[in-house]
Amino acid sequence: MAADRNGKSGARTDLAITGMSCASCAANLERALRELDGVSEASVNLATARATVLFDPRLVDPAGLAEAVRGAGYGVAASPEEQGAKAGRELASLRRSVAGGGALALLIFLGSMRHWFPWAPAFLQDHRVLWALATPVQFLLGRRFYRGAWSALRRRSADMNTLVAVGTSAAYLYSAAATVLPGFFRRAGVEPAVYFDTSAVIIVLILFGRMLEAGAKGRTSDAIRRLMGLRPRTARVVDGEVEREVPVEAVRAGDVLVVRPGETVPVDGLVLEGRSAVDESMITGESLPAEKGPGSAVTGATLNKWGSFRFRAVRVGEDTALAKIIRLVEEAQGSKAPIQRLADAIAARFVPAVIAIAVLTFAVWAAFGPEPRLVFALLNFVAVLIIACPCALGLATPTAIMVGTGRGAERGILIKSGESLETLHRVDTVVFDKTGTLTSGRPEATDVIPAPGVAAGRLLALAASVENGSEHPLGQAVVRRARADGVAVGAADGFRALEGMGVEATVGGERVLVGSARLLESAGVDVSPLRAAAEELTGAGRTTAFVAADGGLVGLLGLADTLKPGARAAVEKLRRAGLRVMMLTGDNARTARSVAAEAGIDEVVAEVLPGDKAEAVRRLQEEGRRVAVVGDGINDAPALARADVGVALGTGTDVAMASADITLISDDLGAFVSAVALSRRTIRTIRQNLFWAFVYNVVGIPVAAGVLYPFLGVLLNPMIASAAMAMSSVSVVANSLRLRRARI
């Protein structure tokens, strides 16, 4: 079961749609799906040609959804691959239509404009010849518009196909009547002129625009294709002493695989033997190869540089990091940003309004226009229908979202949705976790201070035995220090993490506590003998952990975590971008302030429990702040979920990443700075697209209707209207494509 952002639950499915050509197509299909019993939500993305449907499987199934799509006049592809193949065939068909139709339209144009081209062949002056040339353009090349218009009519709606079909048919039929019945027109006082060039050129130009648009939209999905291209095809599986090359789909979790120099790591796993350096730039964006040895994690699709190693497969198939990245990017590209709601609302009502304006235009010109009134009325009627394309409006947002999220994926920034991308640009406050986020997350146990009468070895042995069951970086630092000092790490039973205070377990029959002074004092342990030492360590920026066994104080550990390279630079860039930067941590105040000062952060909230972190975020939001929280651990999950935008480091826990809106695959905080810049550039691009799409229609429709004619004598030729309409969509997509080269 799945749930949308409004809390609606049910099964979720994605349908690959074919046959959509404009924003009103998407709006009509959404309406058709939502009318089905059992469908609680439906969202159709024109740019990706995908429909996301939330439904009750007890009332409707995917087959029923597909049937509704076909009933609305569109097709359903069985897979994205089939959809891509159909899109490729459609693009090839458009190219053939434009080539053939262009040749015919040129001949018709030469014949119709013979006063401009006196050298044109004489036979082109015959209206019957022009009629013969225009007919295949109108009904063969233009049949896609008639099919679309008929499908819309059956649903009692209208779309862009309706506008083109009605407009070109009006020009064609008027010209055919003037060719067959010239005497009728002359008796009515009207010279029997023909406008076959208008209908033919309009059809060819619109097809040309769709061809350019299809090619450009294809390029918006380049990021997905590049990610898919990283997928290795084969793997070397070790079976005893024998190596077998098998398809990567045949690899199972637990298999032992070997990777040689220059080969691609086939799946995710852990190195068993051998050492190498692996280029992970295609996943993390990090340019320097990562050193790998026994125990190191390796990621599928990364490139082994020089050494050979064996590793055990841990995640295969759709569970690999690359597969998850592809899935996240696809979901993000198929999502809608809130800014698109306005465009969708307008597109849904746009075509009927345009038809009404066109009819009114015809009526006014037929009644009050200059002679020949019918001709003027017809031409302006056609111009209004043709120029009023809602395609640019429908493409303005999704194309920018597609390119923006794809660009982010290439830089190791995984954005879950268009909403997350849009919200990030409005953020004015950034709250960082400390350990593992601002700091390297790999602290060292720098100080071992036993209580009076206690051996240092006993202190380390007890603390390390308890912390061996913890995944927390501080706990692992204690374990590493014990092993480095040659202290045996024993087994612990009943391990339990105590929120914001520490951990406890039983070691050799003793109940051992490791954590804050508050934890030990709550258990009745006197920490006063080492309190001064703890304060001294804290003043030096150390994290302290008291250790007690069976109610008695055992000692004190001092741990230091170093600031990540680039953390201070990232904070400075965020400040220059106008953002307020804070640190929120469960660590003690003195340590927190020391790290914050090193990072260039002035505002610190320390010694907070995980639930209190979320409460701190809520208080900021009540002040009117839009908050982004950057964290990596389980304890950050409530704050990430509470924030306007939650940002998790890919090196952190799965819980944190599941709670976040954005995941940074690497632990480089510079990627977050890039995410903010990308969000701002994307939203700026969307606003540019929407501005020009609105301006185009707000200015174009009145001009096409002839409002300037009484003042300036200006009329818009329908052929020019069709060219402008075609280029409006292409310009919007081209503007979105600029994001691929944006510096972030």
Q: What CA–CA distances, in Å, run from 79 to 25, 82, 84, 248, 363?
A: 21, 5, 9, 21, 48
Q: Crossing angle, helix 567-576 and helix 589-599, to 10 degrees?
A: 70
Tally of residues, the chain: 744
CA-based nearest residue to 383, from 112, 173, 145, 167: 167
Spatial contact of 31 and 21, defined as CB atoms under 8 Å apart: no
CB contact set of 368 (below 8 Å; sequence gap of 6+): none
Strand 627-631 and strand 645-649: the pairing is parallel
Q: What CA–CA distances, in Å, run from 633 to 542, 630, 660?
A: 20, 10, 11
**Count of other CB atoms within 10 angstroms of residue 250:** 12
Q: Which amino acid is at 528?
A: S
> Which residue, chain included where needed, has tokens 């119709």?
112
Query: Which token pair is 140?
Result: 């063969």
Q: Under DSSP, is residue 7 helix (H, G, I), strand (E, B) or coil?
A: coil
Cα 584 versus chain centre, distance: 28
CB-side exposure of 373: number of CA atoms within 13 Å? Answer: 11
Q: In what order do the strands lie in the sheet with 502-507?
A: 444-450, 552-560, 543-549, 510-515, 502-507, 493-498
DSSP string, 430-490: EEE-IIIIIB-S--EEEEEEEPTT--HHHHHHHHHHHHTT--SHHHHHHHHHHHHTT----
Angle at the Cα of 686 (from 680 to 688), degrees rounded to 5? 100
Spatial contact of 310 and 257, defined as CB atoms under 8 Å apart: yes
CA gap 591, 154 in Å, rounded: 70
DSSP bridge pairs for 6: none
> Which residue, chain included where needed, has tokens 């918006």?
220
Query: Which token pair is 282?
Result: 């295609």
* Sequence-ordered alpha helix ranges (H) in 540-648: 567-576, 589-599, 610-622, 637-642
Q: Under DSSP, is residue 40 helix (H, G, I), strand (E, B) or coil?
A: strand
* Sequence-ordered alpha helix ranges (H) in 52-195: 62-71, 80-112, 127-136, 143-154, 160-180, 182-187
**Count of other CB atoms within 10 angstroms of residue 508:** 13
CA gap 713, 142 in Å, rounded: 32
DSSP string, 627-695: EEEEE-SGGGHHHHHHSSEEEEETTS-HHHHHH-SEEESSS-THHHHHHHHHHHHHHHHHHHHHHHHHH
Catalytic positions: 433
CA gap 61, 348 in Å, rounded: 26
Query: Which token pair is 208?
Result: 């040309």
CA-based nearest residue to 323, from 426, 400, 251, 402: 251
